[in-house]
Amino acid sequence: MSWDIVYTAQARQDLRDINEYIALELLAPENAAGQTQRIMKTIRSLREMPMRYQLYGEEPWHSRGIRFLPVDNYLIFYLPEESRSTVNIVRIMYGARDVRRQISETVL
């Protein structure tokens, strides 16, 4: 069974911000494109067995079923909905930032 992938508005913005930061601030547009492609390829891999990655340990996110997986220095937070066979991409964050604060600002 293949699951559908749905990006929240915040996750789409996160991806744009990552691309723009690498391309414009770090002046590395090729690296920006490559990083974005790696993140999106990893997200597409969630179509098969999305439950294989661990739950985020902090509450209330743990109880809500938020899972995450790393891609290079980034973390992809997602919420699988088994009843709809849908993976909701919630946030994509740089792992060295204050992840707890950023995820707490996320509206589900």
Rounded to two decimals, the pTM is 0.93
pLDDT tens column, 55-90? 999 899 999 999 999 999 999 999 999 999 999 999
Cis peptide leading into residue 60 (ω within 30°): yes
Amino acid at 65: G
Domain ranges for the chain, please list them.
4-104
pLDDT tens column, 6-61? 999 999 999 999 999 999 999 999 999 999 999 999 999 999 999 999 999 989 99
**Domain spanning 4-104: CATH 3.30.2310.20:** yes
Task: List the one residue out of 9, 84, 7, 3 whose CA is nearest residue 40.
Answer: 7
Q: Is the pLDDT of residue 108 over 80?
A: no
Task: List the one residue out of 81, 73, 77 whose CA is nearest residue 54.
Answer: 77
If pLDDT is split at 50, 70 and 90, which confidence band does 104 have?
confident
Rounded-to-integer distance, Cα 28 and Cα 96, Å: 20
Bridge-based pairing state of the strands 4-7 and 86-94: parallel
